[in-house]
Every structure is written in C-alpha cells, then in structure tokens.
C-alpha cells in the first residue's frame, strides 16, 4: 500500500473514531439530561402540590362553605290534637311598596323597593269545637250547627316572593330592615285580601256541602244546617 492510500485509510479511521466518540458523548449527554429532568420533576412536583394546596386553602378562606350543624336535641313544647276540616285554599298575589327617607333629599338618602308577595291562605271549620247540642235529630231530621269558618293558615310563600326592584340614594347603603318590614306588611295584606275576597264564606259553604254528603251516606234522610255559631279563642 502506497503512502497515499495509507493516509486515506488513516483519515477515514480518524473520522469514524471521531463520529463514534461524538455519538457516545451525545448518548451520555442525552441520558444525563433525561435523568436531570426526571429528578427536577420529582423535586418540583411536591412544590407544585404544596402551591396547589395553598391556593385551595386560600380560596376556601376567602369563600368559605357554610356549615350547618343542627342540634340533635329536639324539644316538643306543645302537642295538640286537631279536628280541622280544611275546605278551601286561597292564593293571593300582592305588590308591596316600602320606602324610607323619600323627602327632599330622597335622591341622596332615600331607599325604596317593590316587593312581589305570593301568599297562601287555608280556611275551614274546626270540628273540635262541636258540642252535642250542635247535632240534634228531631222527627228524623238532622239539624247541624257548625262553628264559623276561620283562617287556619295565612302565610307568605318565600320561594315565590321576591324583591322586584330597589333604588337607593347616592349616599346610602339602604335600610337593612326595609325588606323585613315589606314582608311583614305583605302577610297582613294577604290575610286582608283573602277575607275581603270572601274566603270564609266559601269555606263555610264547602264545609256544609261536604258534611251534607257525609251525613246522607250515614243514613240520615234529611240534613239541615243552621246558622253557624261564633268561634271564640
């Protein structure tokens, strides 16, 4: 082999050796980088978990979830037996306006709201008030004198009632008791509206109609209802 060929062979061997060395070095570097990345992730992961936990605790502190713990002890203050015949249910809707400070400076210190109130009224007769003298049979005819119809329930339906509109003065945060006052007046208005609408008369008629059918089915050939007697508390 002449000197020229021998030099070419040595050059190729050198090139291949260098490439092999670079390949080995590159493999070692890549392996080391991977190990370093894995180690870094193992170090960072606990820190990330701690940071996430702290963020969750801060969020819970700023927006706490209400905890309701009912007392396991129940006290029965009163137990009564009832014989109420509920004969009508009345639904009432009223719009209540409540306001305060509506004077010359109302635009600064006034507070005004419109409250839409939905109420339910239940009426009927209390059969517990019946006495033996209120049921008499004379010549085959049953004479019945019922107690006057009365309101059993007149309450506000809080799920359906709501504040429709509220306007406050520029320099006031409003009266915190204004909505409470509106709800109180709403209950009174619901009761008054039901009474003015004749709910007691309808309850009395329904009670007599129901009991008439009952007494006829019990075998009384004729039933006459007398004027109801007044109810005393």
Confidence (pLDDT) at 27: 54
Q: What parts of the chain have a pLDDT lower than 50?
A: 3, 7-9, 11-15, 18, 22, 33, 40, 43-44, 47, 50
Backbone angles phi, psi at 223, to 5 degrees: -130, 130
Token pair of 97 as six digits: 């306006």
The residues, ordered by sequence, that sit 6+ positions from 116 with a Cβ below 8 Å of its Cβ are: 93, 94, 95, 96, 161, 162, 163, 164
Confidence (pLDDT) at 109: 74
Task: Count Cβ neighbours within 10 Å for each residue of 110-145 and write b for 16 or more, e otherwise.
Answer: bbbbbbebbbbbbbbbbeebbeeebeeeeeeebebb
Going by the DSSP 8-state scheme, the letter that residue 229 receives in this structure is B
Confidence (pLDDT) at 39: 52
Backbone angles phi, psi at 58, to 5 degrees: -65, -45
Token pair of 79 as six digits: 């137990």
Name the nearest CA neighbour of 94 among 70, 121, 73, 67: 121
Confidence (pLDDT) at 205: 96
C-beta neighbour count of 162 within 10 angstroms: 11
Per-residue pLDDT tens digits for 135-165: 999 998 999 999 999 999 999 998 999 999 9
Confidence (pLDDT) at 70: 72
Per-residue pLDDT tens digits for 170-180: 887 878 889 89
């Amino acid at each position: 082999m002449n000197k020229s060929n021998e030099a070419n062979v040595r050059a190729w061997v050198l090139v291949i050796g260098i490439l092999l060395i670079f390949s080995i070095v590159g493999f070692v570097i890549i392996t080391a980088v991977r190990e370093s990345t894995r180690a870094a992730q193992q170090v960072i992961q606990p820190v990330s978990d701690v940071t996430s936990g702290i963020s969750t605790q801060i969020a819970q502190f700023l927006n706490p979830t209400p905890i309701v713990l009912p007392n396991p002890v129940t006290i029965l203050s009163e137990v009564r037996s009832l014989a109420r015949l509920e004969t009508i249910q009345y639904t009432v809707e009223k719009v209540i306006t409540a306001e305060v400070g509506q004077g010359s400076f109302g635009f600064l210190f006034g507070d005004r709201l419109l409250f839409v109130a939905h109420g339910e009224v239940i009426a009927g007769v209390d059969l517990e008030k019946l006495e033996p003298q209120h049921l008499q049979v004379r010549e085959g005819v049953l004479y019945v004198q019922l107690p006057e119809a009365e309101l059993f329930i007149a309450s506000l339906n809080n799920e359906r009632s709501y504040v429709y509109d509220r306007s406050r003065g520029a320099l006031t945060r409003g009266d915190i008791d204004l909505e409470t006052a509106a709800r109180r007046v709403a209950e009174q208005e619901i009761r008054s509206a039901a009474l003015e609408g004749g709910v007691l008369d309808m309850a009395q008629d329904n009670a007599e109609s129901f009991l008439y059918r009952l007494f006829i089915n019990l075998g009384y050939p004729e039933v006459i209802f007398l004027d109801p007697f007044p109810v005393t508390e």
